[in-house]
Amino acid sequence: MEENMQQRMPLIGDSFPPMTVTTTHGKMELPDAFKGKWFILFSHPGDFTPVCTTEFYAFQKRYPQFRELNTELIGLSIDQVFSHLKWTEWIKDNLGEEIQFPVIADGTGQVANRLGLIHTAGGTATVRAVFIVDPKAVIRAILYYPAELGRNMDEFLRMIKGFQMAEKQGAAIPANWPHNELVKDRIIVPPASSEQAIKDRKKMQEKGEIECYDWWLCHRKP
């Protein structure tokens, strides 16, 4: 039973499982290779496929923005490393973008199986999945997409910014932030957990430090 628990798919809040991976940048130790940084590990069904090609192009176009947020990217599929290298070469020669982040070559499927990335209906193909991992190697978000739907890289940028803002400010992030329909670019004050906290919150509201729709729904400037 204990062994099965150790091998279950990692969940949000778990530490990213340590592993040695073969990539287009050589062998890497995860998560240690990105120690002190955020990183996004994303899997794709296969090289030389249309949707995946548009995704890699889009990730690379935004790679400088991710790096400005202390965030690295690393791709993954069950293709061999020579296939990754030939595909990224094709992207550079034909689309004008050099893929600068590493891509894991998981030919045995060991990494994909460890992370729960094998599509049950697709044989050995990896699903479109995303793991967002923080500088302490804790998994903060996991997202899955169907084969026919490409991912939105701007959302991943927004998520990284949101996570970093929430940690810095000790607050929560509203829907569609920073363009929320109710509070715009403001952040959510955590709900009061006691009667005294409610009283304190009313005083803060009177001082203009926060604004509230009610005592449990308050917001403020970052």
**Which tens digit of pLDDT belongs to each residue from 6-31?**
457 899 999 999 999 999 999 999 99
**Which tens digit of pLDDT belongs to each residue from 178-204?**
999 999 999 999 988 899 988 888 899
Q: Give yes or no: 52 in active site.
A: yes
What per-residue confidence (pLDDT) applies to 99?
98
Q: What is the dihedral of CA 10, 11, 13, 17, to 10 degrees?
A: 10
The pTM of this model reads 0.92
CB atoms within 10 A of CB 117: 26
Alpha-carbon span 211 to 196, nearest angstrom:
18
Domains defined for the chain, CATH in brackets: 2-151 (3.40.30.10), 170-222 (3.30.1020.10)
Q: Which of 52, 112, 133, 160 is catalytic?
A: 52
